[in-house]
Structure formats: structure tokens, C-alpha cells
């Protein structure tokens, strides 16, 4: 095996490791009381209490993406919808939808609006996830219809959930798997990318977005990733990640909020909005929610929090021939 291949696989191992780190951070936020998620603990072997800054960041990330998902699923006038989670890792959103955890008031029954939920990640991750799902009864009770393990356990499928092993950099192979699993190109479809595009080359992420633009009739995209690499904090963030051999390959291509919006607008998407985590925290959360967070634990590193929160963003964009006006109403 040549050195290039060795380096390539080593880098993939490091990227796969970020899934474990994010899952532990999510469980920490759940244990403190920021989030409700009864399933994440089943994917963590060694829980670890994170700092208040990390806990609050995990909450904002979840709050924002869950809000967009909930609004998408309850769009009026739309048929049942699809969700495609790119690089889903050990994310538990599908199960939280099925258990009505995302719908705090219990009024919408989000799962009734869901046609099918697709998750894609490295086969090494999907095999572990599939094994956990099959082993735990709490998961099997939520899966609809017959549950099948395929390709030696790399894929798990039932009538409304498909876990697919594959490499997003080989997008056309991923498309084949999605189509074989029943992806409807005309159904309203939400694509999710949470700290995923940032790890692959701009050419690879552009290939994915261009295919979605050209082939999906009624679609929305929600993205969460790092920004602002060129200020003092951004440069320090990059240096710290490099000590862990983590490279953010997409960071310089879309460094600011305007660049994040333009990546969609330049492809002809009807709407695109990008906001950083500070804006979500300060402008979108209610006073009662902020008061609730303050009661959970003391956050006294305000300067560090604001610096970190300024370097992460949430982006949502829409493109639809049929439901354009409805999708335009979606906002944090």
C-alpha cells in the first residue's frame, strides 16, 4: 500500500473519530438537561462531562437543526417528505422523530409526515450503528415494517428508515444506493450536513450540491459547520485541529456567512440564509429558554463562548418548483 493511500485512510480514521466525540458531547448536554434524547446514551461507552461552553454549543446546534427539521416536516400542502442525513454518524434524530421527542407539545406527530429517513456514513460507522439498533429493543419498536440487514451488516433497511454505508466522495455510488433504496426525486426532501461538508474537498461537496440541484425537484438543505478561518481565533482553531491531525478541507472555500449563502444562490436556489451561533443564541432563543439554560450550569467564560460561537454557523436553503412559497417561510 502506498503512502498516499496510508495517509488517506489515516485521515478517514480521524474523521470517523469526530463522530464519537460529537456523540459524547451530545450525551453530556442531555445529562445536564440541555436536551432531551433518550437514545444517544446507547451509542456511548464512556460518558464524559463536557464544559458549559461545549454543552451550550451542542444545544444550539440541536435546537437549530431540529427546528428546521420540524418546520420542514409540517409544511402545509406538501405530501409526505424525505430526509437524507449526509455523514449521519450516530445521530438519533430519526428515532426522536418516531418517539415524538422533537415535538415538545406532542401536537404535530412529526413521524406521520415522514415518508422515509435516509442516513449515509462510512461503512465502519454504519455497521456499528446497525448492530446497536438491532441489539436494542427500544429501537426495533420504532422501526416500521420488516427490518433487514444487508451487505454484511453495513446497511439496515425498513419501510421508513435506510442506513446506508458508503463514501460521500464517491457520490454517484451513493446516488445509486439511494435510488435502490427508493429515493423519490419529486418528493419534498431535506438534506442534512452537520460538520460533514467541511471535511471533504470543495469539489466533492460541490458535486453533491450540483446533483441535488439538478435532480431533486422540491428540496431543502440544512448545514452546520465552521466559518471565519482568517481572524485570530479562526487561525488558532485551525492550529488546534491540526495538532489532532484534523483538516477542515472546505473551510477556506466558504469562509464567511455570505460565502455560505452564495454556494446555494450561485446554483440557482431560491433562498439561502446563514447565521452564526451567536445570532441564534442571542436573537432566536426566547428569554424563558435563555433563563432555563442559565439555571442548568454557570457559564462564566462569556468571551470565549462568543468567540467560539462566531466560528460556527447554520445555513438553510430551499429550491422547489411546487412548494417554493411554503419553504420560503421556514426560518429559525
> CATH 3.40.50.150: does it fit domain 63-328?
yes
Contact 219, 241 (CB under 8 A): no
**pLDDT tens sequence across 63-74:** 999 999 999 999
Query: Cell triple for residue 201?
Result: 474537498
Model pTM score: 0.94
Query: Cell triple for residue 331?
Result: 426560518
Domain residue spans of the chain: 63-328
- Return the sign of the alpha-carbon dihedral for residues 199, 230, 25, 65: negative
Choice among 51-55, 102-106, 195-199, 230-234 with the minimum mean pLDDT: 102-106
Q: Which residue has the cell 409526515?
A: 113
Q: pLDDT confidence of 13, banded at 50, 70, 90?
A: confident
**pLDDT tens sequence across 198-230:** 999 999 999 999 999 999 999 999 999 999 999
Flag whether pLDDT at 107 surpasses 70.
no
Amino acid at each position: 500500500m502506498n503512502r498516499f493511500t496510508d495517509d488517506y485512510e489515516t485521515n478517514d480514521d480521524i474523521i470517523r473519530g469526530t463522530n464519537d466525540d460529537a456523540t459524547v458531547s451530545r450525551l453530556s448536554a442531555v445529562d445536564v438537561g440541555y436536551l432531551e434524547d433518550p437514545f444517544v446514551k446507547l451509542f456511548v461507552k464512556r460518558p464524559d462531562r463536557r464544559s458549559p461552553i461545549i454543552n451550550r454549543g451542542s444545544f444550539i446546534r440541536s435546537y437549530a437543526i431540529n427546528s428546521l427539521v420540524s418546520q420542514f416536516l409540517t409544511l402545509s400542502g406538501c405530501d409526505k417528505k424525505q430526509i437524507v442525513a449526509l455523514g449521519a454518524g450516530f445521530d438519533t434524530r430519526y428515532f426522536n422523530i418516531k418517539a415524538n421527542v422533537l415535538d415538545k407539545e406532542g401536537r404535530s406527530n412529526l413521524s406521520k409526515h415522514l415518508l422515509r429517513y435516509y442516513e449515509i456514513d462510512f461503512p465502519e460507522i454504519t455497521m456499528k450503528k446497525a448492530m446497536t439498533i438491532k441489539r436494542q429493543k427500544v429501537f426495533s419498536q420504532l422501526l416500521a415494517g420488516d427490518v433487514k440487514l444487508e451487505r454484511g451488516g453495513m446497511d439496515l433497511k425498513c419501510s421508513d428508515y435506510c442506513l446506508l454505508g458508503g463514501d460521500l466522495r464517491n457520490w454517484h455510488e451513493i446516488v445509486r444506493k439511494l435510488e435502490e433504496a427508493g429515493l423519490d426525486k419529486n418528493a419534498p426532501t431535506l438534506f442534512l450536513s452537520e460538520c460533514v461538508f467541511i471535511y471533504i474537498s470543495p469539489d466533492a461537496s460541490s458535486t453533491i450540491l450540483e446533483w441535488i440541484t439538478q435532480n431533486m425537484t422540491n428540496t431543502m438543505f440544512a448545514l452546520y459547520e465552521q466559518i471565519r478561518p482568517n481572524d485570530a481565533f479562526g487561525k488558532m482553531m485551525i492550529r488546534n485541529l491540526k495538532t489532532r491531525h484534523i483538516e477542515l478541507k472546505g473551510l477556506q472555500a466558504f469562509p464567511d456567512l455570505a460565502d455560505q449563502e452564495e454556494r446555494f444562490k450561485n446554483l440557482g436556489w431560491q433562498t439561502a440564509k446563514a447565521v452564526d451561533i451567536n445570532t441564534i443564541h442571542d436573537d432566536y432563543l426566547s428569554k424563558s429558554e435563555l433563563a432555563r439554560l442559565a439555571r442548568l450550569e454557570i457559564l462564566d467564560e462569556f468571551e470565549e463562548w462568543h468567540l467560539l460561537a462566531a466560528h460556527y454557523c447554520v445555513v438553510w436553503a430551499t429550491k422547489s418548483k411546487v412548494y417554493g412559497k411554503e419553504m420560503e417561510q421556514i426560518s429559525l
